[in-house]
Copies of this chain bind each other. A is one copy, B any other.
Amino acid sequence: MASQDHTSHRAQGDELRRFIRQILHRVGLPASDADTVGSLMAEADLQGSDGHGVIRLPQYVQRIESGGINRHPDIRVVQERAAMAVVDGDNGMGHLVVSRAVRLAIDKAREAGVAWVGTRHSNHAGPASLYARMPLAHDMIGLYFAVGNANHLPPWGGMDMLLSTNPIAAGIPAGDEPPVVLDMATTVAAYGKVKAKAKRGEPMPEGWMVDRQGRPLTDPNRAHEGFLMPIGGHKGYGLALIVGLLAGTLQGAAMGREVVDFNADHVTPTNTGQAILVIDLAAFGGAAPFKSAVDTLVRDIRGGERLPGVERIWLPGEQSHGKREAYEREGAPLPDALLQDLDRLAERLGVEPLRRAQPEPVGA
């Protein structure tokens, strides 16, 4: 297990938060902003969203140091009605902009029943599920849409990569059961999974990508020669487009040709757009009957007959829920290569390195 996923160390949540906060403060973020971002990034690692947590820290630091992020943004509401607002992030860290947007949507939904708050001039903000889950504590539903920060998806039948893997996330309160939390890219595989296959020297399954002749592309080292495939063919293309229009265009954020590839360009403001829809169960007859109905449905699904060879039927978000519980006790697993990157970053910036637990014995 340990050797398979290149993980031999774990970091506790408190230590992850401390480390990220100090690094971000050292490169110029105000202490309270560094604290907010550190908490959200650590939360990503602690729920198993390991492509969106501390692994992004070196890239964020590079963008901040290059002037591609505004360290002291004036994050403000630029359009507002009873059930909507647009938050201009002034090119601040995406985590600050989106968490502000979600808090505002929760406040508005409490009055209006439902509220939509979108962002412009925001930035990459980590896993979509972080934000879709925030309304859960208030017995509210969250639906989250975002424009991805690099275009890897062409329209169906095309080759110009005008679309990103624009994710959809939903957080649905349950009663005794874990909440139902969906977090999905509109492509068969997210680009991060392609990179992970390359790192492990494994081929991709057919269906993840095609080359410029439309043939299956399975060598992850040739990923730059092809495109990601949308789920359900033209359907996933349609979904990615609609999500981009709602999360980007509606708020005046980047979409299509305007999207900046933030993996390659560390300076140009991304004008990232995100949007959250919050639905207050109190307005729909109260949280209790809804949550009880969700519990029943969850148990019907989990307890149903299974296809041969299937050990368990999972609900969306159930595996992350299990990881969250385990990682809060044991710490989040971090690959050695990442730990080395983080150590170098800490040394360069004069911050105490990330403390981690000793390696577990292989096979533990």
Contact = CB atoms under 8 A, between A and B. Distances in A.
A157 B312 contact: yes
24 contacts: A81-B111, A81-B112, A83-B112, A114-B114, A114-B115, A114-B116, A116-B279, A156-B313, A158-B306, A158-B307, A160-B300, A162-B300, A162-B301, A182-B241, A184-B239, A188-B232, A213-B307, A213-B308, A214-B307, A231-B232, A234-B316, A238-B316, A241-B316, A249-B297
A95 to B, nearest CB: 23
Interface in A153-187: 154-160, 162, 168, 170, 172, 180, 182, 184
Contact of A242 (B79, B180, B210, B307): B180
Contacts of A339: none
Interface of A: 79, 81-84, 86, 111-116, 118, 141, 143, 154-160, 162, 168, 170, 172, 180, 182, 184, 188, 210, 212-214, 231-232, 234-239, 241-242, 245-246, 249-252, 255-257, 277, 279, 281, 283-285, 289-290, 293-294, 296-297, 300-301, 304-310, 312-316
B242 A172 contact: yes
Given A238-B316, A241-B316, A246-B141, A115 B83 contact: yes
Given A79-B283, A236-B232, A170 B213 contact: no
Contact of A112 (B112, B170, B182, B184): B112
A106 B209 CA distance: 41
A294 B249 contact: yes
A304 B255 contact: no
A238 B182 contact: yes
Given A158-B313, A241-B316, A297-B249, A84 B114 contact: yes
Nearest to A184: B235
A133 to B, nearest CB: 14
A307 B231 contact: no
A234 to B, nearest CB: 8
Given A154-B304, A162-B301, A256-B301, 6 more contacts: A81-B114, A84-B112, A159-B305, A182-B242, A232-B232, A242-B316
A315 B158 CA distance: 11
A237 B210 CA distance: 24
A67 B162 CA distance: 51
A307 B83 CA distance: 43
A256 B242 CA distance: 27
A83 B313 contact: no
Contacts of A154: 304
Contact of A310 (B158, B182, B306): B158
B297 A256 contact: yes
A251 B213 contact: no
Contacts of A235: 184, 231
A172 B243 CA distance: 11
Given A172-B242, A316-B241, A82 B182 contact: no
